[in-house]
Chain A
Amino acid sequence: MERITVKIDGREIVTSPGRTILEVAVEHGIRIPTLCHLEGLSDVGACRLCIVDVRGQLVTSCTTRVADKMEVLTGTDAVRAYRRTILELLFAEGNHVCAFCVSNGGCELQDLACELEMHSVTVPYAYPRHRVDATHPRFLIDRDRCVLCGRCVRACGEVEGARTWNFAERGSQARVITDLDVDWGTAASCTSCGKCVEVCPTGAIVRKGESNGEMRKKPEVITRLKERRTHG
């Protein structure tokens, strides 16, 4: 098997081509923050939080494949500052109100604020108005807390095969919808499998009946499901 050598943060790593920078880094215990990435789903590089520096160029580590003699820096001052800006933009875009969220304490976005040392949001908050869709008997979506990572869309399409979730509109109007933008409860294609709930990194798509701070998600079920399907 072909072997290549890459340098991540000064560490020489021998690996095989075709793998992403993120995979190689994770394997070697190098932490790169992610949000739209989930092991088991395809990678789109949408949230941009996993950017790393490859010879002065910023690339998303979840979509960029390693190459021989590639030099990667995962945590330069500039990279960290850009990640923080992106995180601030995500917080500014929604109404997260962590204190009153079922996912409080179990939210990837909340954790990222700690990890990336985001002291405050330096751009004005948008305070958008969104409608909460609680028409599904077991689940609900609060788009105030959606970060548009698209994990629900990919899990639904790639793993469940239902394609209930998709994107509608564009730019700041972009949002996830069920079927052709009908109430979730009436979306005919939904199998109510709950994968979207488990993969949602925030308190946007949640189970009904969970109380403040109670919701704990298990995105790793997708990872394991995918592994079992691939390796039997």
Chain B
Amino acid sequence: MAKVRVATMWFSGCAGCHMSLLDIDETLIDLAGMITLFNSPITDLKVFPEEGVDVTLIEGAVGNEEQLHLARTARQKSKILIALGDCAVTGNVPALRNGMDPDEMIANIYGDKVTSNGALPYEAVPHLLGRVRPLAEVVHVDYFLHGCPPPAGLIAKAVLALVAGKTPELAGPDLKFG
């Protein structure tokens, strides 16, 4: 059986969802035989393989222009797209800045409050979007894994189902936010 091609991405979030992914313990060993992991913070590969992947898990909300672009690329390059964790599903903590002016915020944090070598990160850093969005507000998302972070068992359950070519059955407590 051909290995399932998987990618994972990390947008505006704390990496906790990826930690939870690694927390699936010995299931990791089983998974290793079933999947090929392409671009991911875990592999440190940055670019999607030309021919795309089967499944992409995205952690974090869409907060800047690069993430918006990557979300669209991910959608194009993936058969199945999963929003991994509350930030990707609802915006969660990163979205708390919505309603504030991003430019003012940047000036405040990188300018006014910096005592030496202050410089506004405008040149090399992607611009912040006017508001942080859940993944599903910018691209179509196939499955949502709730939780902050989603419990390791939930991630394992969903990924194993997809690897086996089945629809992950997400119900009841699986849908608990937070």
Indicate whether A and B are direct neighbours in the complex (CB within 8 Å).
yes
What residues of chain A have their CB less than 8 Å away from a CB belonging to chain B?
Answer: 91, 95-101, 104-105, 110, 113-115, 117-122, 124-125, 127-129, 213
B178 in contact (CB, < 8 A): yes
Decide if A91 touches B90 in the complex (CB within 8 Å).
Answer: yes
**Among A95, A114, A117, A122, contact of B95 (Cβ-Cβ < 8 Å):** A95
The 5 lowest CB-CB distance pairs between A and B, nearest first, are A98-B178, A99-B148, A127-B98, A98-B177, A104-B178
Decide if A113 touches B99 in the complex (CB within 8 Å).
Answer: no
Decide if B99 touches A120 in the complex (CB within 8 Å).
Answer: no
Shortest distance from the beta carbon of B7 to any chain A beta carbon, whole Å: 21
**Among A100, A110, A117, A125, contact of B134 (Cβ-Cβ < 8 Å):** A125
Decide if A119 touches B175 in the complex (CB within 8 Å).
Answer: yes
* Distance between Cα atoms of A114 and B86 in the complex (Å): 14
Decide if A120 touches B136 in the complex (CB within 8 Å).
Answer: yes
Decide if A110 touches B178 in the complex (CB within 8 Å).
Answer: yes
Given contacts A99-B177, A114-B176, A120-B141, contact A129 B134 (CB under 8 A): no
- Which residues on the B side are within 8 Å of A125 (C-beta)? 90-91, 95, 133-134, 137
* Distance between Cα atoms of A127 and B136 in the complex (Å): 15
- Which residues on the B side are within 8 Å of A118 (C-beta)? 175
Given contacts A113-B177, A119-B170, A129-B99, contact A97 B93 (CB under 8 A): yes
What residues of chain B have their CB less than 8 Å away from a CB belonging to chain A?
Answer: 83, 86, 89-93, 95-96, 98-99, 131, 133-134, 136-137, 141, 143-144, 146, 148, 170-178
- Which residues on the A side are within 8 Å of B172 (C-beta)? 114-115, 117
* Distance between Cα atoms of A213 and B136 in the complex (Å): 27
Shortest distance from the beta carbon of B23 to any chain A beta carbon, whole Å: 17
- Which residues on the A side are within 8 Å of B93 (C-beta)? 97, 99-100
Which residue of chain B has the shortest Cβ distance to A144 in the bound complex? B96
Shortest distance from the beta carbon of A97 to any chain B beta carbon, whole Å: 6
Which residue of chain B has the shortest Cβ distance to A127 in the bound complex? B98
Shortest distance from the beta carbon of B85 to any chain A beta carbon, whole Å: 9
User: Can you list 19 pairs linking A and B with CB atoms under 8 Å apart?
Assistant: A96-B90, A98-B176, A98-B177, A99-B86, A99-B178, A100-B93, A110-B178, A113-B176, A117-B172, A119-B144, A120-B90, A120-B136, A122-B136, A124-B137, A125-B90, A125-B95, A125-B134, A125-B137, A127-B131
Decide if A95 touches B96 in the complex (CB within 8 Å).
Answer: yes
* Distance between Cα atoms of A109 and B172 in the complex (Å): 13
Shortest distance from the beta carbon of B130 to any chain A beta carbon, whole Å: 11
- Which residues on the A side are within 8 Å of B137 (C-beta)? 124-125
- Which residues on the B side are within 8 Å of A95 (C-beta)? 95-96
**Among B91, B96, B141, B173, contact of A114 (Cβ-Cβ < 8 Å):** B173
Decide if A96 touches B131 in the complex (CB within 8 Å).
Answer: no
Given contacts A114-B173, A120-B134, A125-B134, contact A105 B98 (CB under 8 A): no
Decide if A117 touches B86 in the complex (CB within 8 Å).
Answer: no
- Which residues on the A side are within 8 Å of B176 (C-beta)? 98, 110, 113-114
- Which residues on the A side are within 8 Å of B86 (C-beta)? 97-99
- Which residues on the B side are within 8 Å of A128 (C-beta)? 99
Given contacts A96-B177, A98-B148, contact A127 B95 (CB under 8 A): yes
Shortest distance from the beta carbon of A7 to any chain B beta carbon, whole Å: 28
Given contacts A97-B96, A98-B86, A99-B177, contact A120 B144 (CB under 8 A): yes
- Which residues on the B side are within 8 Å of A104 (C-beta)? 178
**Among B99, B136, B171, contact of A117 (Cβ-Cβ < 8 Å):** B171
Shortest distance from the beta carbon of B146 to any chain A beta carbon, whole Å: 8
